[in-house]
Amino acid sequence: MKNNNKPKIYTGNFISTFNAIILILFFVFVCVYFIKGVLSGSVAGWVGFPIFFILFSVFTLPMNYFILTDKKLISKNPIWFWKINEIEFKSITSISIVQPPKSFISLKIETIDSKKVIPACSLRDNTWKELKTHLIKENIVLHDKVGV
């Protein structure tokens, strides 16, 4: 993307991921539980919301997607919209596509002064392949340890 000013977005359909389906089912359960608890005058209905928020965080934090501009790799989260990581290409020493144990396929980005692992559970295999091709075109050292 050296001569193109338009950013390229690499995203997946996060609503159809396993995390989103589990989250939606749990949300329906918590809503029914809350309504039944409130209507019966019980405090038990209020207990579900902190549990839901914790599970909501666990299931939505890895739903990142990537935007590649002329000079930066940007990761964003569609749910936690303020969660943005911007890394300039010139500071990246290498990128690895990894899958830590019991986790999602992620980009492990090594820069001159730090390492960062950014999970992206909503990206499909074709999207990973396109992202890989684009990163190689940007002359970034890329290691695919997952085989996508």
Exposed/middle/buried for residue 47 (C-beta within 10 Å: 0-12, 13-18, 19+): middle
> Which residues are bridge partners to 109 per DSSP?
95, 116
Residue 38: Cβ within 10 Å count: 13
- Residue 62 has what pLDDT? 85
Confidence bin at 45 (pLDDT 50/70/90)? low
Q: At what angle do helices 18-39 and 44-60 cross, to 10 degrees?
A: 170
- pTM confidence score: 0.77
- Report the range of poorest mean pLDDT among 18-22, 39-43, 71-75, 113-117: 39-43
- Rounded to whole angstroms, the Cα distance separating 138 from 108 reads 16
Tens-place pLDDT, residues 89-121: 999 999 999 988 878 889 999 999 999 999 888
- Rounded to whole angstroms, the Cα distance separating 120 from 64 reads 5
Average pLDDT of every residue of the chain: 83
- Rounded to whole angstroms, the Cα distance separating 21 from 26 reads 9
Asked whether 147 and 128 are in contact (CB, 8 A), the reply is no
